[in-house]
Amino acid sequence: MSRKTGRAIVASCALGAVAGAGILIYTIVAGGGGAAAQALPDAGKFRVGSQLGEERAGFSGRPMVMVFTSAIDSAAISACLLSPDVEALMGDFTGVLVEEAAEPDVESVLRARDDFQVVVRALNGSLLGGLRRGFTCADLAALLENVRKGITFIEKSPIYARLLESTEPIDVLKTEGKVAEAARYVELLKEFEGEGSAVAQAAEGALGK
């Protein structure tokens, strides 16, 4: 993923072989000590923190919908993000909540210059759209609908694609002693495929062996 946020965060779909088995693994490299503590709660399909958003977007291949807010107005924002109209459109996106005070450098130019409170970025970093402060739920739904019309292909990360076919990546990571990493991929798979999906249950079963 390439996105200029002014932070030392790099997310890459690295084509690295695991244990010589030729399994492609998605990796996260975080620098600069990570984001400050967040005081916001998650809201439906929106998770708090830009670094987590980068990870989830890189794994899923979906564009990021970043919403900037504060603890003071998070209740009103959350109500909008949890609305049926918005939630129905989030299947093709990764939702990210960013606490403005905790992460002032994320999208600082668009926030300061254009007063954007919502920023939609493609996986390659290109700007797909945005909304200024004072946006309504109808505005957000319309933006998502317009952006979604232009999405012709979503490229999942290599490990996501492999996990849809086999639990082999989980087995290999466990063999290497990387149980925590394997568990994280299982959690991501459960998020994007659903906890009750056959592939998520198979991966969780492989993790628990």
What would the pLDDT profile of 44-83 be if each residue is shown by its tens digit?
999 999 999 999 999 999 999 999 998 878 888 999 999 9
Give the pLDDT of residue 152: 83
CA separation for the pair 95, 109 (Å, rounded): 20
pTM above threshold 0.85: no
Give the pLDDT of residue 73: 81
CA separation for the pair 83, 122 (Å, rounded): 23
The residue with tokens 């990571």 is 173
CB burial readout 108-136, b (16+ within 10 A) else e: eebbeeeebbbbbbbbeeeebbbbeeebe
Give the rounded distance of the alpha carbon of 59 from its chain centre. Answer: 7
What percent of the chain shows pLDDT beyond 70?
Answer: 81
Give the pLDDT of residue 74: 80
- Convert the pLDDT of each residue in 137-190 to its tens digit: 999 999 999 999 998 888 999 999 999 999 999 999 999 999 999 999 999 999
Tally of CB atoms within 10 A around 8: 12
Tokens of 71: 């603890």
Q: Is the pLDDT higher at 125 or at 7?
A: 125
- Mean pLDDT, rounded, for 96-124: 95
Give the pLDDT of residue 2: 35
- Convert the pLDDT of each residue in 5-34 to its tens digit: 332 222 323 222 233 333 333 333 333 334
Give the pLDDT of residue 9: 24
Give the pLDDT of residue 148: 94
DSSP letter assigned to residue 91: G
Q: 9-16 contacts: CB < 8 A, separation 24 or more? A: 9/50, 9/51, 9/54, 11/54, 11/55, 11/57, 11/58, 12/58, 13/58, 13/157, 13/158, 15/158
Give the pLDDT of residue 70: 86
- At the topology level of CATH, where does 36-149 sit? Glutaredoxin (3.40.30)
What is the crossing angle of helices 137-149 and 74-81, to 10°? 50
